[in-house]
Amino acid sequence: MNATMENEAILLEDRPTPHVARVRLNRPHVLNALNLDLRRALAHAFERLDADPRVRVIVLAGSERAFCAGADLGEYANADPVEIVGRGMDRLWGAIAHCRKPVIAAVRGHALGGGCELAMHADLIVAGAGATFGQPEVRLGLMPGGGATQRLTRAIGKFQAMRLLLTGESIAADQALAMGLASEVVEDTQVEARALEIAVAIAKGPRLALQFVKEAVLESMNAPLELGLQFERKSFQILFASSDAREGVRARMERRPPAFE
């Protein structure tokens, strides 16, 4: 399907392959810096795709030079606290964070500041060998505001997160992979192809089980272990009401590929 425009800030391909949507940041002239138009377009796209039953997996991509180089500083130069609060960033980030469908970030080039935070909103990160990650906000006299102090710490641990957050240093893709900030690293030219390959494989799986797995993993980040285990058990039990669960068990017993609905 041909790409369509979403407020000119992003390109959206509803289904480049069956049940997969690709959302592309479309401000390459400024390394896909996040301005309000882009943030709002992303929120709108994710809300729409989350509600679309035809879409099972979302691939989030940037451009060749940058996945996203961070916030558009022109919108912050003269901003005051009241104006920043009025922008409602929590709602814009929340549209991505609360998406029920698996999200794969295809990262080439820079993923810095808000761009690194955007990648961390995904469930998998496929990075190009030339990609760089970092949270340089402290070098501007600021701190992250899109979740990095929480998500980065959960992804790579306190001591590595503190190093990146307090120094503002960037790391290469191989370092990100070793730390746990990326799912895998491939050649830069293969990033989106690999992300789509994974998306297609996931999209063939049982829709409800995929949703429940994502919910349970995210719950583990916000709840004590015992509550997370209870959430997992309840979700596991509910899945036995689904036709996909019955089909999956029968297919394994009959030694054939499952035909999930």
In this structure, is the dihedral angle defined by the CA atoms of residues 181, 146, 162 and 159, taken in order, positive or negative? negative
Q: Which of 9, 71, 105, 111 does the annotation list as catalytic?
A: 71
Would you call 97 a catalytic residue per the annotation? no
Instruction: Please check whether residue 54 is in contact with residue 17, taking contact to mean a CB–CB distance below 8 angstroms.
Output: no
Query: If DSSP codes are grouped into helix, strand and coil, which group holds residue 159?
Result: helix
Would you call 114 a catalytic residue per the annotation? yes
Would you call 137 a catalytic residue per the annotation? yes
Q: Which of 69, 109, 111, 117 does the annotation list as catalytic?
A: 117
Which amino acid makes up residue 130?
G
Which residues are registered as beta bridge partners of 172? 132
Q: Which of 137, 147, 148, 182 does the annotation list as catalytic?
A: 137
Q: Which of 62, 109, 114, 115 does the annotation list as catalytic?
A: 114
Would you call 71 a catalytic residue per the annotation? yes
Beta-strand (E) ranges in the chain? 4-6, 10-17, 20-25, 57-61, 66-68, 103-107, 110-112, 124-128, 132-134, 170-172, 184-186
Q: Which residues are catalytic?
A: 71, 114, 117, 137
